[in-house]
């Protein structure tokens, strides 16, 4: 299957639909009776004054999530090919995005982190223009506003603000105006939120928004032990990817090297920002899927032993489907 997606063939879109359905078929047999969808954080709930948490049936919820994931996969694929991050056009980023988005059952339903992936992809489009762009201040400002919007939907997204400064460090010489622009962009959204609080006589509670930032980082995470088994092929592929990247790192163009460094930092920020949420949910890690999909695509594009990389990907697919059918 990897060999098919290595080429940039529009017919691969049909294969993407097949993989999308395959990585969700097991969950459809164990579909819950009720699935809650929370679109915004509690502090922004006043902005959406209607009851929507259970407006979708579980089946419709999963279908809509699948459609969004498919669109995101195509956007990621377009981003990577447009900026030539892999060195050749391919459909592997889309394949890896769809596969990794089916890794855990909570990834398969509508959730704030899934919605925020659109904003993360939007930010990446802007960051990729920093290297040769002339007006970095407007890009940083826009990115700050995007992070603020993401924070209204899913508060841990606030840590992606660090990605703005990391992108400026990687792609631009230091200019304090560009750094301040990101802060102004973020502050613009929350200024209007503060005005909304004031008009609703809740300005005295505005400071409560920031209290989660003072939470202590947890000593451990409570995750079903069987989920760790599912991570074995994922970790194997990531290790192989970083080894392959290290081999070719200095052979790549400067922009490509810096782009992969940025993706790596985004991966770390997304992974370690989970603790800000009031209650831990594994669907938080769907934010890691965007950079992880690029890393996976890089490995599978440049891997040389066909029997090995095809078997490794098949193992990942089988593991995903198996654990959806078996809840233990």
Structure tokens belonging to residue 322? 């198996």
| Cβ partners under 8 Å of residue 151, min gap 6 | 41, 157, 158
Report angle CA 53, 59, 64 to the nearest 5 degrees. Answer: 70
201: left (phi over 0), alpha (psi -120 to 50) or beta: left
pLDDT at 295: 94
Q: Phi, psi at residue 133, to the nearest 5°?
A: -75, 155
Find out whether 176 and 135 touch, Cβ atoms under 8 Å: no
pLDDT at 182: 93
Residue 203: CA count within 13 A, CB half-sphere:
8
pLDDT at 328: 47
Predicted structure pTM score: 0.92
- CA pair distance 79, 91, nearest whole angstrom: 11
- Count Cβ atoms within 10 A of the Cβ of residue 12 and give its class: 0-12 exposed, 13-18 middle, 19 or more buried: buried
**What is the extent of the structural domain holding 289?**
2-325
Report angle CA 60, 62, 66 to the nearest 5 degrees. Answer: 115
- CA pair distance 283, 291, nearest whole angstrom: 16
Structure tokens belonging to residue 291? 């950079």
Q: Digits of tens for pLDDT over the chain (328 positions)?
A: 788 888 888 899 999 999 999 888 877 777 777 777 777 787 787 777 766 666 778 888 889 999 999 999 999 999 999 998 988 899 999 999 999 998 888 888 889 999 999 999 999 999 998 887 778 899 999 999 999 999 999 999 999 999 999 999 999 888 889 999 999 999 999 999 999 888 888 888 888 888 777 777 665 566 666 667 778 888 999 999 888 888 777 666 778 889 999 999 999 999 988 887 766 778 889 999 999 999 999 999 988 888 898 999 999 888 888 877 665 4
Instruction: Specify the number of domains making up the chain.
Output: 1
Q: How far lies 89's CA from each of 79, 82, 293, in Å? A: 11, 8, 15
Find out whether 301 and 90 touch, Cβ atoms under 8 Å: yes
Helical packing angle, 254-272 and 112-127, nearest 10°: 160
- Count Cβ atoms within 10 A of the Cβ of residue 64 and give its class: 0-12 exposed, 13-18 middle, 19 or more buried: middle
pLDDT at 130: 87
């Amino acid at each position: 299957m990897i060999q098919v997606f290595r080429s940039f063939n529009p017919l691969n879109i049909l294969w993407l639909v097949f993989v999308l359905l395959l990585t969700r078929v097991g969950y459809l047999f164990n579909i819950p009776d009720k699935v809650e969808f929370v679109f915004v954080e509690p502090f922004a709930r006043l902005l959406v004054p209607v009851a929507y948490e259970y407006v979708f049936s579980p089946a419709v919820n999963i279908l809509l999530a699948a459609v969004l994931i498919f669109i995101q996969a195509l956007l990621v694929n377009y981003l990577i090919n447009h900026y030539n991050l892999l060195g050749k056009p391919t459909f592997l980023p889309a394949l890896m995005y769809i596969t990794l988005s089916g890794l855990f059952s909570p990834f398969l339903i509508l959730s704030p982190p899934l919605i925020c992936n659109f904003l993360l992809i939007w930010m990446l489009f802007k960051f990729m223009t920093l290297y040769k762009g002339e007006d970095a201040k407007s890009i940083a400002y826009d990115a700050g506003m995007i992070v603020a919007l993401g924070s209204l939907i899913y508060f841990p997204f606030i840590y992606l603000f660090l990605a703005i400064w990391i992108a400026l460090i990687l792609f631009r010489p230091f200019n304090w105006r560009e750094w301040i622009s990101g802060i102004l962009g973020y502050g613009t959204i929350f200024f209007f939120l503060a005005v909304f609080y004031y008009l609703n006589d809740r300005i005295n509670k505005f400071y409560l928004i920031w209290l989660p930032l003072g939470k202590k980082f947890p000593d451990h995470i409570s995750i079903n032990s069987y989920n760790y088994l599912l991570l074995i092929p994922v970790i194997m592929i990531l290790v192989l990817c970083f080894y392959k990247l290290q081999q070719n790192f200095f052979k790549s163009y400067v922009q490509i090297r810096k782009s992969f460094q940025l993706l790596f930092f985004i991966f770390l920020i997304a992974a370690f920002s989970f603790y800000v949420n009031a209650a831990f949910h594994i669907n938080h890690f769907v934010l890691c899927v965007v950079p992880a999909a690029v890393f996976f695509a890089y490995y599978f594009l440049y891997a040389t032993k066909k029997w090995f990389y095809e078997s490794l990907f098949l193992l990942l697919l089988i593991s995903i489907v198996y654990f959806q059918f078996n809840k233990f």
